[in-house]
Structure 1
């Protein structure tokens, strides 16, 4: 939208203010544009502000197979109910002035440098990628990072992104909408307990099977100092959930070990220890994972950088409760970050295989039982008939074992007690021959 102030009688520069224009890809605070009517003007675009080498313009996903719905103070309430998606990009400075001719097309500096490509979650292509990701992986709860969606269009974008889903966000602490959490109310329920500029914390429960745990979705800042409040935040929540399953997933923008990078750099400074020390103090460790070792890639050829800055970490209570869970780091696709999918796998069937005990043959009815089964008639080929007789015999032998030999330990203790009673009675009355 373009707002034009009244023109004075004397020909002076005309002020035009550019408001947020999602269709042109402009996200963030508006800037002032000065147009001189007396002479032709050239476009002067300020360099965009880059916050980190890990900035991207495509989705990064961490998914959970399970799902707050607060009414934000500055947004009208909207009734809405294991993956993290990343939509990152750089913001134009709020104070930047842009000079352009009247017939020029409006677009942000980042779009100028990227050939007019929109950044964040505002493009139909990236929204389609997320919908396909959710459908393909059967996701019921998803986290999206660095959406680049302004609060005034949040409802419109979220409603079309995944229709019928519920959402919570951290716009209260970050006007850029750095973290979204969405869930399918048919299968899950997420209740947000707190949020900050770098994380959303809450409780997730599966409606289908009742599984529940605490979930934190994280998108850390890009400098050591700005990340330290997040480390303190995780340590605080570790004290609140000492005996409850807790999972933390997202982009930590930090490596834990020197082996978490694959490039020519090999330096290590003390500030790198902050992340590892935080995980130790909070009692968090990596969840067993499969897929990509490195989760972020930048550049190509000899200058290519690879890092493991996206992680899924859990506490000891999670490992005890969900011992068959795992995280999958998938191929990046249109993003430079690997989507993360967390699944709680079903407990394997622990049925014991059938075993034949030789002492069964000592039972008086054993051979009679076998003869009855073997004389039975079954219709089918000889191999099919043999399988049917063996299956029927197994069922009867299990019944014999339960009837005659079940709870053998208790029977042994009872027999031992009777033996001791008899032996004590003989000692008390040695002349009794009964």
Structure 2
């Protein structure tokens, strides 16, 4: 187990040369006890620190060929025989359990049987899922296009009873071949984000128009109340502009992502219609270009971390100080006549 930036990580690199599974968790939120590791799954005990009930959890990444996956099914069955209580199994099984789980390729009964038998013997079933149905695409064109449902979130009845509001959200795949999965177990708690003014807003003429308009509005009351109220009105107006996507980069990303998701939604609703293939590729290319624009803008905000932590007696401060010392070096000094006075002086 490795610890990085307050998070804990483990993997199965010792069981496979490519290290096919990586698990990360926040130790302030969960206690995770690794029980078994092999080349196709990592089995562990998860105990939330909120006081909620703990459960067994198995992260799966099955091999591509059917014969090698037999060790996955036998391993899951062995876990089932040696445990009691709630159990969650999730990941990329690289297998299907129904003929409808694939479009664009031949489905044989012998391919469905192993996973079905394992689910029945282990008493596992799919938890409630929203979003995409097919979770993988080979990204080919025309008749070569294949869509499959090979990523799953399974659980036994005890886990579903303990977490009856849990849902698996199958998210848009973007420019990946697999769709990300997000398992939501606890209710969302919406926190109001504090207002922050970004200096790059000053490059837009609309800012001066907004400030002038709100500052010239008539407000009754004492001087201090008028000042505070006008500043509050300016903040509300700026936040309203920001939510609409003030900067060109944000507008481009939001627009490109919406178009890409719309094309992918249409493709999943009509998976046999190959006309959406080229439209998806064009939408992905536009989205990637918009992301580059946004990342270029975000690089200007990188100094915010130094402004926040630089004056503190913190690890961030000393790491930055060491980095500056490595670069601030004077290698030689000479006078007006070109005579060398000293060499290799390091600035402290």
Conserved 8 A contact 2:57-2:89 = yes
Q: Does 1:252 pair with 2:103?
A: no
Aligned to 1:225: 67
Structure 1 distance, partners of 2:107, 2:126, is 24
Structure 1 distance, partners of 2:162, 2:52, is 13
Aligned to 2:44: 202
SS in 2 for 1:342: strand
Structure 1 distance, partners of 2:160, 2:52, is 18
What is the TM-score when the length of structure 2 is the normalising length?
0.51
Q: Does 1:299 pair with 2:139?
A: yes
Structure 2 distance, partners of 1:213, 1:172, is 25
Q: Does 1:270 pair with 2:110?
A: yes
SS in 2 for 1:320: helix
Aligned to 1:324: 165
SS in 1 for 2:103: coil
1:346 to partner: Cα distance:
4.6
Residue ranges of structure 1 left out of the alignment (5+ in a row): 1-68, 70-77, 81-158, 348-434
Q: Does 1:213 pair with 2:75?
A: no
Instruction: Decide whether aligned partners of structure 1 residues 317 and 335 sit closer, same or farther in structure 2, where only a CA change above 3 A counts.
Output: same
Q: How many residues align?
A: 187
Q: Does 1:308 pair with 2:149?
A: yes
1:266 to partner: Cα distance:
4.0
**Structure 1 outlier segments of 4+, above 3 Å:** none
SS in 2 for 1:225: coil
Structure 2 distance, partners of 1:180, 1:321, is 26
1:179 to partner: Cα distance:
0.8
Out of 5, 25, 32, the residue aligned to residue 183 of structure 1 is: 25
Structure 1 distance, partners of 2:156, 2:52, is 20
Q: Give RMSD over aligned pairs.
A: 1.7
Structure 2 distance, partners of 1:267, 1:343, is 32
1:272 to partner: Cα distance:
2.8
Structure 2 distance, partners of 1:297, 1:318, is 30
Out of 2, 5, 12, the residue aligned to residue 170 of structure 1 is: 12
Larger Rg: 1
Structure 2 distance, partners of 1:220, 1:262, is 20
Structure 2 distance, partners of 1:233, 1:195, is 10
Equivalent positions of 1:339-358 (< 5 A) are: 339-346=180-187
What is the TM-score when the length of structure 1 is the normalising length?
0.41
SS in 1 for 2:117: helix
Structure 2 distance, partners of 1:322, 1:337, is 26
Conserved 8 A contact 2:53-2:162 = no
**What do residues 344-368 of structure 1 show as CA deviations (whole Å, max 9, x unaligned)?**
1459xxxxxxxxxxxxxxxxxxxxx
Equivalent positions of 1:35-434 (< 5 A) are: 69=1, 78=2, 80=3, 159=4, 163-242=5-84, 244-263=85-104, 265-302=105-142, 303-346=144-187
> Which is richer in helix?
2
**What do residues 217-274 of structure 1 show as CA deviations (whole Å, max 9, x unaligned)?**
00001111100011011111112233x11000000001110000122x3441424311
Structure 2 distance, partners of 1:203, 1:252, is 20
Instruction: Decide whether aligned partners of structure 1 residues 269 and 192 sit closer, same or farther in structure 2, where only a CA change above 3 A counts.
Output: same
Structure 1 distance, partners of 2:187, 2:82, is 28
Structure 2 distance, partners of 1:258, 1:293, is 13
Aligned to 1:392: none
